[in-house]
Structure 1
Amino acid sequence: MTSKYASGGPELVFEQYRVPTGDTGIELHVRNKRPASMTDFRADRTIVMIHGATFSSGSLYDVPFNGMSFLDYLAAAGYDVHALDVRGYGHSSRPPEMESPAGDSAPMVGTDTGVHDLGVVVDHVRSLRGLARVCVFGMSWGGTVAGAYTSRNEDKVEKLSLLAPQWLSDKPIPIDAGGPLSAYRLVPVREAKARWLSTAPEHGRATLVPDGWFEQWADFTLAEDPWSQGRTPDLIRASNGPIQDIRDYWRAGRQYYDPSDIRVPVLLVHGEWDIDVPIDLAQAFFLELRNAPYRKWVEIGEATHLVLLEKNRLLAYQAIRDFFDEEFVPEVSLQNR
């Protein structure tokens, strides 16, 4: 289908498709938006996006606040954007264990699975568009998945943009509430606003999320897990594999991957009020990116971990777009010309 971007914007194509994973019964759902006029596909104008540990790519990247989502914004800027749902999330297939009571199985869909699923979609997009490389974006747990994938597949990645990726922590990580972990957890979507606002200082809470945005986001997010509608209204399933990995890696002082193995340009975006990935963790991660050809850090003021859904979302959108837009030539290269 095609649609108009905001008021007077370019016409966009919106397609949804499914990609087999090679595992029986498991397919990945992908949202694709691009300009309707686009006929020439390039690595530097093609982006594959992956979500975090709780909400799907649709929930995080495609809710049209004021008529425009993050995917709309990037597509209108001339990008061919493919946002995938890892198995167990959004409209992708659920592993059989996630169709049974949560307590029947161990935590499902860990970071290994996320890296695999991201790789499946990257390869699909590369084949679909006839490209050797694509750009990659991920936030939170998805940033960990994207970073790990890039560290092992630099020949397939043009540029990497990360929003608040996980890193080693000697303090409790808010998403892990403690206690035994089952296959998945049920997330009370309509109750999320109080926790979300509590991560900002009191003086910033009233204006952090514009009027009506939370309700629009909650409705969209609940529709991303149709299974829950007749079983657990107002709750969605989120796999516990990423939380098990927090315990096995990030809180245990073990790196899941080595960021110094990333050898493509990197942008790190971070929100001033992010308590899920505090600024000291972001700085420690940034310093590990020492072998990237170049690296940039953009700090968004008055923003939490969910900056893409807040009043200052356009600052993050623009920083990410500008990074993918830029053609950076190191000064030493100019001197050698």
Structure 2
Amino acid sequence: MSAYLPTMTQQSFHIPATTACPSLFVRRQPRHDAPAVLYVHGATFPSALSVGFDFGDGSWLDDWNGRDLDAWAFDFAGFGGSGRYPEMAEPADRHPPLGRAARAAGQVAAVLALIRRETGRQRISLVAHSWGTMPAGLATIADPETIEQLVLFAPIARRPGTGALPTLPAWSDVGKEAQHARFVEDVPKEHAPVLVAFDRWAPAYLASDPGAEARTPPAVRIPNGPRADNADAWQGRLAWQPEKLARPLTIVRGAWDSLCRDGDAAMILDAATASPCRRDIKLAAGTHLMHLETGRRVLHEAVGRRLKGEQP
């Protein structure tokens, strides 16, 4: 069981921009000489609003520190503290969706290289959420000796879709009302609300984009590559190949999650036959956003025990 260590001192790093990628913001909540774990966020909000958000009793990073883990997270290009794609300042319909998984995997690899340099550790565990499981999976397959284990929280899987793929622009603006509607839609109507501290989360979300308040209504601008990758997956074209995964794999998901259903978890696990260890952990009373809900401690415990090599 974790002993939370809230308000731990954080370190921050910036990976310089290249011709192919804007700069990347990396945060570390250190436990020196401890195993390292990197969080890979999903499609619409950065690490400060997910693994780094303190609900009043500590963040997920605090939980990892309490388990004697060296906790790391970063923001994909176009999110949070990282640089923006130049195309995000142009009309959205001039460019295809930005930040697709194949290129985002290179950002994961760049952060892993930074962690290895800073810690001297060869292997790092990855915990990835939702769309972030695609670039995390690609990065693991590309350099398996770098990864201790891969934990997929609510992964997007391949579905046998037959419809036409939507045409998405380069970016979208997403307001707090749209986020709230998405966050609560999977909670059964007869159940009490499970979303926590949205009154504090929403202004912090808008503050993650310096241009948000200037829009009408206020909204965060995000790259649409993740949404395009999700749409492709649901039409039968997943951005990574689980059958090539050669590292231990755990899927963790909420029982109410409509984006990661039983069949989705089975698709990934059944394909990942080269993985030396595969687990599926289904948690009660949680949605796709369980890390923002009343059940987050149950999620933290399940993931934390897997990271420590313990049975959940």
Normalised to the residue count of structure 2, the TM-score between the two structures is 0.91
1:10 & 1:97 partners in 2: Cα distance? Answer: 38
Per the alignment, residue 167 of structure 2 pairs with 180
Matched, 1:154 2:135: no
Matched, 1:198 2:181: no
Equivalent of 1:227, from 211, 226, 232?
211
After TM superposition, the structure 1 = structure 2 runs for residues 227-306 of structure 1, keeping only pairs within 5 Å, are: 227-232=211-216, 234-247=218-231, 249-306=232-289
Deviations 1:23-74 (A, max 9, x none): 3772100111124xx3x24xxx101111111111111111111231111111
Per the alignment, residue 156 of structure 2 pairs with 166
- Unpaired stretches in structure 1, ≥5 consecutive residues: 329-337
Match of 1:161, SS state, is: strand
On the 8 A contact 1:50/1:84 being kept in 2, the answer is: yes
1:116 & 1:88 partners in 2: Cα distance? Answer: 14
After TM superposition, the structure 1 = structure 2 runs for residues 199-218 of structure 1, keeping only pairs within 5 Å, are: 199-204=186-191, 206-210=192-196, 213-218=197-202
Please identify runs of 4+ aligned residues in structure 1 that moved more than 4 A. none
Kindly provide the amino acid, as one letter, of the partner of residue 64 in structure 1: D
Per the alignment, residue 323 of structure 1 pairs with 306
After TM superposition, the structure 1 = structure 2 runs for residues 107-126 of structure 1, keeping only pairs within 5 Å, are: 107-126=97-116
Change (3 A) 1:194 1:251: closer
Per the alignment, residue 27 of structure 2 pairs with 31
On the 8 A contact 2:206/2:220 being kept in 1, the answer is: yes
Per the alignment, residue 8 of structure 2 pairs with 12
Kindly provide the amino acid, as one letter, of the partner of residue 165 in structure 1: P
Deviates more, 1:66-75 or 1:252-261: 252-261
Per the alignment, residue 295 of structure 2 pairs with 312
Identity rate of aligned residues, in percent?
Answer: 28
On the 8 A contact 1:14/1:34 being kept in 2, the answer is: yes
Kindly provide the amino acid, as one letter, of the partner of residue 182 in structure 1: P
Change (3 A) 1:214 1:21: same
Aligned residue pairs total: 309
Match of 1:203, SS state, is: coil
Deviations 1:116-157 (A, max 9, x none): 100000011111111211111101010111112112211110
1:85 CA drift (Å) = 0.7
Match of 1:98, SS state, is: helix
Normalised to the residue count of structure 1, the TM-score between the two structures is 0.85
Report which of the two structures shows the higher radius of gyration computed on alpha carbons: 1
- Unpaired stretches in structure 2, ≥5 consecutive residues: none
Matched, 1:99 2:89: yes
Match of 2:139, SS state, is: helix
Kindly provide the amino acid, as one letter, of the partner of residue 32 in structure 1: R
Kindly provide the amino acid, as one letter, of the partner of residue 73 in structure 1: D
Match of 1:147, SS state, is: helix
On the 8 A contact 2:102/2:138 being kept in 1, the answer is: no
1:104 CA drift (Å) = 2.7
1:191 & 1:245 partners in 2: Cα distance? Answer: 20
Deviates more, 1:249-258 or 1:193-202: 249-258
